[in-house]
């Protein structure tokens, strides 16, 4: 489990590409290595990955084909930086929202608006059926960052990003047309899906 509060950024230093499996070596900041163990879960751009090996400051992860196909990790190159969050511990403060690290889809950055201290990013989700889970003031996790939806127009939504988030994550380096990883809020998804099932059930009963 994660909270969407990014702990730092780390650079990809090597990628070993095998059939249906890529192995990434990432240079971790020393602050993120404390008590890190083999088998630990770490959020990489919002994706929950398992630590395969630790070699000094280098942490190694295997990434399966399904993850490469459905996230932006498959587009990551050597030298790129990614957002890192260590898994939450019981008793930790949850500053963002509950995040599983299971990416549901990607979204394309459709527009970036900068004015004075405002930084607003608009996104278009690749799978439009997921728009039913996007609500004004609702939670969403973008590349591992817990953010709040501030506006929705047709099949696009936007978030407003504070200077602190811009300085501590990779989001400020993103450009229009790039893909980001999306995890919708689990509780929103459960509420919407449950409501739909109840409505459909009542509709079928009424017309029997």
Q: Return the pLDDT at 113.
A: 96
Give the whole-angstrom CA distance, residue 55 versus residue 49. Answer: 17
Give the whole-angstrom CA distance, residue 155 versus residue 147. Answer: 18
Q: Return the pLDDT at 201.
A: 74
Contact in structure between 104 and 5 (CB atoms under 8 Å): no
Q: Return the pLDDT at 111.
A: 96
Q: What is the pLDDT along the chain (208 residues), one digit of tens a residue?
A: 899 999 999 999 999 999 999 999 999 999 999 999 999 999 999 999 999 999 999 999 999 999 999 999 999 999 999 999 999 887 777 788 889 999 999 999 999 999 888 899 999 998 889 999 999 999 999 999 999 999 999 899 999 999 999 999 999 999 999 999 999 998 899 999 999 888 887 655 555 5
E strand map for 47-104: 47-55, 58-64, 81-86
Q: Return the pLDDT at 116.
A: 81
Q: Return the pLDDT at 91.
A: 72
Number of neighbouring beta carbons within 10 Å of residue 126: 13
Give the whole-angstrom CA distance, residue 77 versus residue 13. Answer: 9
Give the whole-angstrom CA distance, residue 77 versus residue 96. Answer: 28
Domains of the chain and CATH, by start: 8-86 (2.40.30.20), 105-193 (2.40.30.20)
Give the whole-angstrom CA distance, residue 121 versus residue 157. Answer: 8
Give the whole-angstrom CA distance, residue 134 versus residue 183. Answer: 11
**What is the gyration radius of the CA atoms in the chain, in angstroms?**
18
Q: Return the pLDDT at 36.
A: 95
């Amino acid at each position: 489990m994660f909270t969407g509060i990014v702990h730092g950024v780390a650079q990809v230093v090597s990628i070993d590409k095998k059939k249906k499996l890529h192995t990434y070596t990432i240079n971790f900041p020393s602050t993120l290595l404390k008590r890190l163990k083999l088998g630990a879960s770490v959020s990489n751009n919002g994706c929950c990955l398992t630590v395969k090996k630790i070699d000094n400051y280098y942490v190694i992860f295997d990434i399966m084909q399904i993850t490469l196909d459905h996230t932006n990790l498959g587009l990551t190159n050597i030298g790129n930086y990614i957002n890192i969050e260590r898994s939450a511990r019981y008793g930790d403060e949850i500053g963002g929202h509950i995040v599983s690290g299971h990416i549901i889809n990607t979204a394309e950055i459709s527009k970036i608006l900068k004015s004075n201290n405002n930084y607003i990013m608009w996104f278009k989700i690749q799978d439009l059926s997921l728009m039913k889970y996007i609500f004004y003031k609702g939670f969403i996790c973008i590349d591992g960052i817990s953010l709040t939806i501030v506006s929705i127009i047709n099949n696009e939504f936007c978030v407003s990003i504070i200077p602190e988030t811009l300085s501590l994550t990779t989001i400020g380096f993103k450009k229009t047309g790039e893909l980001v990883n999306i995890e919708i809020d689990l509780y929103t998804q459960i509420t919407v899906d449950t409501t739909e099932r109840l409505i459909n059930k009542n509709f079928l009963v009424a017309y029997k």
